[in-house]
Amino acid sequence: MHALLLPLAAALGRRLGLALAIIALAVGARLIWTLAGEETLREGERRARVEAGRQEETRLLLWRAELAGRLAGARRDLEEQQERLRRAARVLAALEEASGWWERWFGDPAQVATNAERRRRMEEMQAETRRRIAVTDALLESLTGEDGQAEQALGRVRLELAVAEAGQSPFWRRLEAAWTAVRVPVAATLFLVFAGPTLWALFAFFLLGPWISRGRPLRLGPEAPASPRIRAAGVVLRFPVGPDEHLWVKPEYLQSLDDVFRRRTRWLLDPGAPLTSLAAGWHELQELRPEAGQAAEVALASREDPQQELAAVEVPTGEALVLSPRHVVGVLAAVEAPVRLRARWHLTSWQAWVGGRFRHFVWSGPCVLAVAGRRGVRAEALAGGVRRMQADLVIGHSLGVARRPVRAETFWSYYRGRHPLWDDQLAGPGLILLESAGAPGAAAAARRWWERAAQGVLRVLGL
């Protein structure tokens, strides 16, 4: 009974917990939406008040400017009228002084009449000027009152505007502060995201590419004829093992073998370089050695990739081959002459930095290497010639082969991602090992950052 009730209670508890989580998520989302809506509505009303206050402030400022102009004009007019009144008073005083009793009795009658006419006009002008001064004084008083009212209204509007501007909600204040802080980095990031690839493509193709292509090629050893050769190849590789030989092979490639082998586990290909052995997949190997005095055969094939084919590459005595360890799935060597695997670093070479290959592994003979490649492995001999090919297809070459990156031929194919920026140019004499096709989806995998980073690390390590 308990065995039945406990799973039922556990299932019910899980469903109840899921239901509570859904309810909490829905309520929280609705609450956030409501709060954001209310804050947005409140902020919209506040901004409307601020905009209306600024418009009213502008109108009052224009009104005060107009009143100031009218006040200045009225004051100038008042000063002119007062100056006119003073001139009239001076003229009347002069006429009064010139019209004494002597002039009235014994003076020129025409001059006396003229002076009397001038006195009458001056008195009329004084009266008119006093009337205008009274009107101007009344206008000045009215304009001064209007200006005071405008000043009071402007102060009230500015106070309301300050209150409205200070009433911004904390949500919008923090949002605007955050946007002010990040808008320049965001703009720079967007520029780099949208324009950066194009700018880098132009720089790499037209400036960096020609300069790197003129560099000196990388050669790991002296020039020599193409002595390594492919002994056999196929989807299933039959590997004869002599009585004085042993074979190290990755277990996933071991298909069948004669039942005359002594088998044991070799944990690392090279115990002196454990990290290299682990990264290259050369760990937990099967070491096969025939019983004394017997020869046997081993069949190797890929269990995981039916498109992968194998080839037996023979490296004679005194020769060496530069080969990536991840393409080597088996090593056949004499018991008395163990395989020598050496790593060479090239940190000061521009070619190494461009190609991302800072370490090269050199396999020294005599040995036979079981090499895996997509759709097969083929060998091409360079009799002093120069070959250009895609870098991801080259899996190995002789020591004397000079290798350097060269720029792609056309910009558009590189810019559209249909061709890599760099091809490999190889010059002989020597031997080149190629796989017939790259891994499927390589272009899509290269766009994934983590996979590209992992591939870059393995390439830097020469793996």
Q: List, for residues 220-231, the tens digit of each pLDDT value.
A: 877 766 567 788
Of 133, 168, 203, the last residue of a domain is 168
Alpha-helix residue ranges (DSSP H) falling in 107-208: 109-166, 170-203
- Residues 389-416 have pLDDT tens digits of 887 888 888 888 888 888 888 888 888 8
User: Which residue range(s) make up the domain with 297?
Assistant: 229-460
Cis amide bond preceding 429, omega within 30? yes
My answer on whether 156 and 261 are in the same domain is no
The answer to whether residues 365 and 316 touch, using CB atoms and an 8 Å cutoff, is yes
pLDDT score recorded for residue 450 = 45
pLDDT score recorded for residue 127 = 83
pLDDT score recorded for residue 267 = 84
Inter-axis angle of helices 170-203 and 2-98, to 10 degrees? Answer: 100
Alpha-helix residue ranges (DSSP H) falling in 313-448: 350-355, 411-415, 442-446
For the segment 176-203, the average pLDDT, to the nearest whole number, is: 88
pLDDT score recorded for residue 371 = 92
pLDDT score recorded for residue 441 = 46
Is the model more confident about 198 or about 222? 198
My answer on whether 253 and 391 are in the same domain is yes
My answer on whether 380 and 287 are in the same domain is yes
Confidence of residue 445 (pLDDT cuts 50, 70, 90): very low
Q: Is the pLDDT of residue 440 over 60?
A: no
Instruction: Kindly report the CATH number assigned to the domain that includes residue 121.
Output: 1.10.287
In a domain, 121, yes or no: yes
Q: Is 13 helix (H, G, I), strand (E, B) or coil?
A: helix
For the segment 149-157, the average pLDDT, to the nearest whole number, is: 86
In a domain, 384, yes or no: yes
My answer on whether 421 and 292 are in the same domain is yes
Is the model more confident about 30 or about 357? 30
- Residues 264-317 have pLDDT tens digits of 888 887 777 677 677 667 788 888 888 877 888 899 998 888 888 899 998 888
pLDDT score recorded for residue 446 = 41
Mean of per-residue pLDDT scores for the chain: 81
In a domain, 1, yes or no: no
Confidence of residue 180 (pLDDT cuts 50, 70, 90): confident
- Whole-angstrom distance between the N-terminal and C-terminal Cα of the chain? 59
Is the model more confident about 334 or about 105? 334
CA-based radius of gyration for the chain: 51
Of 168, 195, 211, the last residue of a domain is 168
Q: Is the pLDDT of residue 31 over 80?
A: yes
In a domain, 278, yes or no: yes
Confidence of residue 128 (pLDDT cuts 50, 70, 90): confident
pTM check: above 0.75: no
Confidence of residue 449 (pLDDT cuts 50, 70, 90): very low
pLDDT score recorded for residue 38 = 79
My answer on whether 293 and 395 are in the same domain is yes
- Domain tally for the chain? 2
- Residues 63-114 have pLDDT tens digits of 888 888 888 888 888 888 888 888 888 877 777 766 655 565 555 667 667 7
Q: How do strand 283-290 and strand 367-374 relate by DSSP bridges?
A: unpaired
My answer on whether 150 and 272 are in the same domain is no
Confidence of residue 447 (pLDDT cuts 50, 70, 90): very low
What does 190-242 look like in DSSP terms, one character per residue?
HHHHHHHHHHHHHHIIIIIHHHHHTSPPB--S-------EEEEEESSEEEEE-
Q: Which residues pair with 387 in a beta bridge?
A: 426
Of 129, 150, 168, the last residue of a domain is 168
Cα–Cα distance between 382 and 429 in angstroms, integer?
Answer: 5
In a domain, 372, yes or no: yes
